[in-house]
Amino acid sequence: MTSTPRDTSRNTARNTSRNTSRNASGHTPDRPTRRTKQSAARRQLRREVPSTAAVLADERDFAAMRRYPTFPFDDHAGYLQQLETLLRTLASQGVHTTLSLFDPAAYEEYCADLGLDPDRPDSRTRYTAELACTGATLPYGGEPLTELLPLLVEEADRQATWDQATALLARAGTCPDCGEDLAPAAFARATHALQRLLEALGAGTHHLVCSIPAREPSLLAVLHVTADDADRRQLSESRTLVFCTVLAAGLALRTPGGIVSRTTAKAPDADATDTTNATHPHDTVRGWALRDSWLRPLTAAEVFTAYCTDADTGEPIPPEHGVDYAPGLTLTPPPDRHRHH
């Protein structure tokens, strides 16, 4: 069969179109290969699988890990640099990474309890995965490690304080008269005390420190609160929980301790809109001692002595310029039938 010129040109155009629409492997560009689809799916899945990294924050912890031959690093600075490069790479790929602290002593105990060889990378990996569930963590958002590590250490200290205070509360026992657990009552009392304290302090920026010398180490909780004239407050929920738990432990166990507040507020005649003539911020320090399961206000002299004495040496510390040492404010306690037990 022969074809007419018209048929021939039509067939030639059809064949040319087919040939130019195929690539070297015989597949059209608008239809990805199976391998390409699988690779894209794996990349997408990788972004949805989070990572966890445990960091040796200081030279001492790093030196402790160097006794394991499989630990591949020689100097702490180089180790941190390599870790930061890895974290930035994961972040650039859209991978969420959680950062925690690697504690060599806790790691050694962990391996001993589970019968693991501590000189194996898979043992370190398993311990790191456990930390993501039980330890103090922070999300990595691209920050330099030099900025993130102090925050991570602070978070670890706060969790350790909460764990210790919770353990002390658990040993508070029960009421000898009614058999009720004293820990919930102490926590409710601590929450009420903080509420009354913030109401009494009023507007301003408040830095609160609660210290309970309950064995070693002593319990110490810090809380930052900002309150306006309408009594609207800004504070961290997690820090508030730790603060109230530490205070509750002191109230339940009737240990010595107390709270010191440092409030920064503008003078009453300061005009917030006039930045040229505005009065400089003024700080006022007050204090309360734990007595009879409540916060009892200290005198101005007692506050001055407590604030201007070195806790370690007992030596006096010069008072700060522009700081007033005022008596603590009276706080009305709630009715509590367990109070005198």
Give residue 14's pLDDT. Answer: 47
Give residue 228's pLDDT. Answer: 87
Over its C-alpha atoms, the chain yields an Rg (Å, rounded) of 32
Q: Which residues contact 99 (CB under 8 A, 6 or more apart)?
A: 52, 53, 54, 55, 87, 137, 138, 139, 140, 148, 152
Give residue 43's pLDDT. Answer: 61
Looking at the whole model, is its pTM more than 0.85?
A: no
Give residue 293's pLDDT. Answer: 87
Both tokens assigned to 241: 């929980």
Cα(131)–Cα(56) distance, integer angstroms: 13
Cα(232)–Cα(225) distance, integer angstroms: 10
Average pLDDT of the chain is: 83
Q: How far apart are the first and last CA of the chain?
A: 114
Residue 79 phi, psi dihedral angles, 5° rounding? -60, -45
Judge whether 285 and 323 are in contact, CB under 8 Å.
yes
- The 10s digit of each residue's pLDDT in 112-146 is 999 999 999 999 999 999 988 888 899 999 999 99
- The 10s digit of each residue's pLDDT in 149-184 is 999 999 999 999 999 999 989 888 877 776 678 889
Taking 70 as the pLDDT cut, the residues of the chain under it are 1-32, 37-49, 178-179, 215-216, 266-281, 311-312, 336-341
Give residue 44's pLDDT. Answer: 62
Q: Which residues contact 66 (CB under 8 A, 6 or more apart)?
A: 73, 74
Judge if the upstream peptide bond of residue 217 is cis by omega within 30 degrees of 0. Answer: yes
Q: Which residues contact 108 (CB under 8 A, 6 or more apart)?
A: 118
| Residues linked to residue 226 through DSSP beta bridges, in sequence order | 205, 234
Residue 141 phi, psi dihedral angles, 5° rounding? -125, 25
Both tokens assigned to 83: 């870790």
Q: Which residues contact 289 (CB under 8 A, 6 or more apart)?
A: 256, 257, 258, 295, 296, 298, 302
* Amino acid letter, 109: E
Give residue 248's pLDDT. Answer: 95
Element (H, E) at 220: strand 219-227
Give residue 314's pLDDT. Answer: 73
